[in-house]
A and B are shown apart, each in its own frame.
Chain A
Amino acid sequence: MSVSLLPSQAKFQLAKTKLKNQLLILMVTLTGIWLTASILIWGWWLVRQRQLKVIQTAYNQVAAEYKNRGEDLLTSHRLKYQAKMVGKVLAARFEYGEAITNVNNLLPSEITISDFKIQGHNAFQINYTTNKGENMDIVEEKVAEINDKKVKGFTAAKLTSLSWESGQWKFSLEVKTE
């Protein structure tokens, strides 16, 4: 068992001194943390400012070069614009030459076209003649192939008339191109 011989006033002074020291340590620590945080944040801010300045200088240099290429840029833009417009025209255009060529090449050369009519944009009424009856099998097969979407460039076909006169087969075919 220990007995404190200090008078109560002295005890109080000791406690006061201890508290004072503890408060001092706390204040120094808090100020230190505050100062470190402030320096870090300010430093970070300065670094960012510097970075922005450097990037802006680089951007200004590039922008000046870009401005110098103004004529080329406008030419290139005009080309793009015209190409877009021409592309639209070509995409919307129905090419009769190609469609008629496809129609002409639809059947073998032994089956000759005697006449044809264009109905609207993509429908053809074609009159054919041939001497060989076997060729009619080819025609029937072709019509079936077209209707099965197996022939490129054509969407539908129909045999509209068929006759046999003095050894010659005459028939009409209605085809629709793409």
Chain B
Amino acid sequence: MTVTLPDKIFGLDSSLAKLLVKPIVIIILLIMLFNWGVYPKIADIGRLKQEINKVNAEKQMVVDKINYINSLPPEDLKKNESLLNSALLYEKDAYFLVGVIRQIADKYSFTVQGFSLSPGKLTKDEKESGQAAVNKRVPVILNLIGPKTSYLNFLDGLEKSLPILSIEKMNMRVRNEVAEMDLEISAYYLDEETKPEIKRLTLADLKLDKNEAEMLKTLSNYTNNRTILSLAQEQIATRSGVVYGRSNPFR
């Protein structure tokens, strides 16, 4: 089949118009090829750049974390671990707390006259936070008597002991050379912490800040009642009828 063209197309000689067809087709083809094969690559280059930056940043974060872990002397890590383990109770055990206080009192010639506990009572901290893992308080109320001259050393001894003891309320009477004290003392324990995904840990989750490092220094000067703590833990482990059903969170 042959197509007969008119002499003129849009006022242009048909032989000249025929000359333009080929370049127009080629230009259209080039534009189509560009859109199909090249233009998407430009967008892809942007995406790749973002991905490279992201992987680089992630890599840097991981390297920083590894460098931090490598920079920690293992003996320091162990020492800090032991110190912090000693700073808190393993679990809610008011009897053990009384034992610790009694040991400190003995040291300063004070005697525990009596004590009271409320094992089932929720403390303020627990009620307020409602979080999964919070500090929980174990409070005991004690009545102690001892020499007036050593009450200050005794208070100092209580406040510079591990596990950390917090005097919530204090009432003191002095008769002659004898001091009688009513103390409400609390110690703290941690709920079992859910094991975090190590991938999600940030450097801030690992690194002790300046205040925390200072605090550890302070704690290292405290009297560590670790021995009595360990002994009591053994007693708990062998005690019948008291099962807390919790694994030791510090091991």
Residues of A in contact with B (beta carbons under 8 Å apart):
12, 16, 19-20, 23, 26-27, 30-31, 34, 37-38, 41-42, 44-45, 48-49, 51-52, 55-56, 58-59, 62-63, 65-67, 69-70, 72-90, 92-98, 100-101, 104, 115-118
Contacts and interface: CB of A to CB of B under 8 A. Distances in A.
Contact of B190 (A45, A70, A79, A85): A85
Interface stretch (B3-11, B52-60, B109-117, B238-246): B52-60
A31 B23 CA distance: 10
B24 to A, nearest CB: 10
Nearest to A100: B152
A72 B44 contact: no
A81 to B, nearest CB: 6
Interface in B162-210: 164, 166-167, 170-172, 174, 188, 190, 193, 195-196, 198, 201, 205-208
Contacts of A70: 198
B84 A79 contact: yes
B215 A83 contact: yes
B52 A51 contact: yes
14 contacts: A34-B30, A49-B48, A62-B59, A66-B65, A73-B198, A74-B198, A76-B77, A77-B205, A78-B193, A80-B207, A80-B208, A86-B188, A90-B218, A97-B159
Contact of B88 (A42, A63, A82, A96): A82
A118 B172 contact: yes
B236 interface: no
Interface string B67-103: 0110010000100110011011000000000000000
Contacts of A79: 77, 80-81, 84, 208
Given A77-B205, A80-B205, A100-B155, A45 B41 contact: yes
Given A23-B23, A85-B135, A45 B62 contact: no
Contact of A83 (B193, B208, B250): B208
A149 B47 CA distance: 61
Q: Give the residue among A38, A56, A79 with the most B Cβ atoms within 10 A.
A: A79
A68 B19 CA distance: 71
Contacts, number: 179
B16 interface: yes
B128 interface: no
A73 B59 CA distance: 16
Given A16-B19, A80-B205, A97-B158, A86 B88 contact: yes
The range of chain B's interface size is 35 or more
A87 B23 contact: no
Interface of B: 13, 15-16, 19-20, 22-23, 26-27, 30, 33-34, 37-38, 41-42, 44-45, 48-49, 51-52, 55-56, 58-59, 62-63, 65-66, 68-69, 72, 77, 80-81, 84-85, 87-88, 133, 135, 152, 155-156, 158-160, 164, 166-167, 170-172, 174, 188, 190, 193, 195-196, 198, 201, 205-208, 211-212, 215-216, 218-219, 250
Given A93-B159, A100-B155, 20 more contacts: A37-B34, A41-B38, A41-B42, A42-B41, A51-B52, A55-B52, A55-B55, A55-B56, A58-B59, A59-B58, A69-B66, A73-B206, A76-B69, A80-B207, A81-B133, A82-B190, A96-B155, A96-B159, A97-B152, A97-B156
B164 A86 contact: yes
